[in-house]
Amino acid sequence: MTVPLPPVRPEPSAAGPVVGAYRLSGRIGTGEHGDVFLAVHVDTGEPVAVKRLRMPAGDAQRRADIARRFVGEVEATRRLQHPDIVRLLDAGSDDAGPWLAMELLAGRSLERYTHASRLLPEPVVLGVAARVARALAYAHEHGVVHRDLKPSNVIVDWASRRVTLTDFGLASGAEAESTRTGLVLGSPAYMAPEQLAGAPAAPGADLYALGVTLFELLVGRRPHESPSLGELLRQVAEQCAPDLRSCRADLPAPLAELVAALLAKNRADRPASAAAVAESLERIIPTIDPAPAGSMSRP
């Protein structure tokens, strides 16, 4: 989970606990993998968001292994320097578990626009998705897989036209633990069939998640949904996703074909790369009636 906030410098709290070089000012969000806190750097006063990974119950050695994997993954992600990827500032682990500090973002997550009554104009959706695909392509070229792409992990600031992909690798420790125990942690509706089967994370899984996200932003629901986790997992593993045009007949056939390819059960049947997906989206955008105020205007 990422909580976007306006970049306003908070007043340091002398009473707040210190994590690494950051003094926490209070919890601002709770997600599947941990809690997010507003914080400031104790020396510079820079406002940041600090996230703590929620650790599973277990013996100390297992928790230490998860913390080590998490910090290693964050360090790899920290080297990513891309305008559409959130900046990770610091990471570490203490007695309470792993933590990371990241830039404080302005804007809203795409989760706000996943309801049928609040859908964005199609060119806006495709424009944002193309930006996300470009960010994924950059990460994949540098050996980093997101693992948990979904609308709530994409922040858009309509005023600055910034699109930011967040929470890279934050599921890594939980993912490793779930593979060991056979549990499913994270966001199964966005997870590729091979991910749910315990395969190592790979770029193809991010492309599947991008397909689910696109479908949801265009239709107002996910391709597979069920109140039962078991039934949801069965659908993802066995059922083909609905054809996009069966839900939205007004959408162009090339877009439906692209989404279907992204949602292919077999990883080999998905597009070759995130860069190829971005190129396809950019070709489709001009074929759709433009949004009234431009493809990245505030809806």
Query: For 18-103, which CATH superfamily applies?
Result: Phosphorylase Kinase; domain 1 (3.30.200.20)
What pLDDT was estimated at residue 290?
A: 67
Q: Which residues are catalytic?
A: 148
Which residue intervals of the chain bear CATH 1.10.510.10?
108-287
What pLDDT was estimated at residue 6?
A: 43
Report whether 40 contacts 21 (CB < 8 A): no
- Report CA torsion sign: 15, 18, 23, 24: negative
What pLDDT was estimated at residue 160?
A: 94
CA–CA gap between residue 171 and residue 167 (Å, rounded): 8
Between CA 146 and CA 147, with CA 227 as vertex, the angle to 5 degrees is 5
- Per-block average pLDDT, block size 10, for the chain (299 residues)? 47 72 88 83 94 76 73 77 93 84 91 95 97 97 92 94 85 44 62 91 95 98 91 91 95 98 97 98 90 50
Report whether 286 contacts 115 (CB < 8 A): no
The token pair that represents 114 in the structure block = 């996943």
Which residue intervals of the chain bear CATH 3.30.200.20?
18-103
Give one DSSP letter per residue of 234-274, joined into a string: HHHHHSPPPPHHHH-TTS-HHHHHHHHHHT-SSGGGS-S-H
Could you tell me the CA-to-CA distances from 272 to 95, 195, 275 in Å, in that order?
43, 18, 8
What pLDDT was estimated at residue 15?
A: 65
Report whether 232 contacts 225 (CB < 8 A): yes
Pick the CATH number of 108-287 from 3.90.1150.10, 1.10.357.10, 1.10.10.10, 1.10.510.10: 1.10.510.10
The token pair that represents 20 in the structure block = 């690494």
CB-based burial of residue 227 (10 Å sphere; 0-12 exposed, 13-18 middle, 19+ buried)? exposed
The pTM score is 0.84
Q: Does 150 count as an annotated binding residue? A: no
Between CA 247 and CA 253, with CA 252 as vertex, the angle to 5 degrees is 85
Q: In 3D, which of 278, 262, 274 has the Cα closest to residue 139?
A: 274
Q: Give, to the nearest 10 degrees, the angle between helix 274-284 and helix 253-262.
A: 160
Q: In 3D, which of 117, 218, 216, 110 has the Cα closest to residue 155?
A: 110
